[in-house]
Amino acid sequence: MAPQIEQLVGVINARLREIDPPLLPQAPPRTVPITVSRGRSYDSLFTEAMALKRAKKFAEAEPLFQAAIEAHEAEVYAHTGPVLASDNYMQLAIVQRALGDADGEVRTLERYIGQVENPWMRDRFQERLDRLRKKMGQQSAATVTRRGEWAT
């Protein structure tokens, strides 16, 4: 049944595109180049890092997540303003937790919290950070790691 539905959806979408003016929004052509790190786009870095994470190769995944975040931040801040993809930061925090790097996890969460404007996402990351600090026996600090800093 699923292939029939997919085929029907494809036919409907094709017909909708034929209507003038189009009912389906068309994506504007990309005029902004994708920022690269290590000669690769942040999407490809993130995809490879996720594959390594799934394979439980956390030590190999961590630098790729960091490179993906840095490349993504560079593009976002250069062209659109602070609208960051939270998955990059959350996945890096998960990898750092798996590696037993609680300080790195704190830095990653603080870095995202310091840049994000969406209050719901900021609160979500702040809750995780507060739980981690409670577990570590620390007080919630107001200091935040800003973009471009992987403080040690």
Give the model's pLDDT for residue 60.
Answer: 92
Average pLDDT score, the chain:
74
pTM comes to 0.59
Q: What is the mean pLDDT of residues 36-64?
A: 84
Of the pLDDT bands very low, low, confident and very high (cuts 50, 70, 90), residue 137 is confident
Please state the three-class secondary structure of the chain as a single string. Answer: CHHHHHHHHHHHHHHHHHCCCCCCCCCCCCCCCCCEECCEEHHHHHHHHHHHHHCCCHHHHHHHHHHHHHHHHHHHHHHCCCCCCHHHHHHHHHHHHHCCCHHHHHHHHHHHHCCCCCHHHHHHHHHHHHHHHHHHCCCCCCCCCCCCCCCC
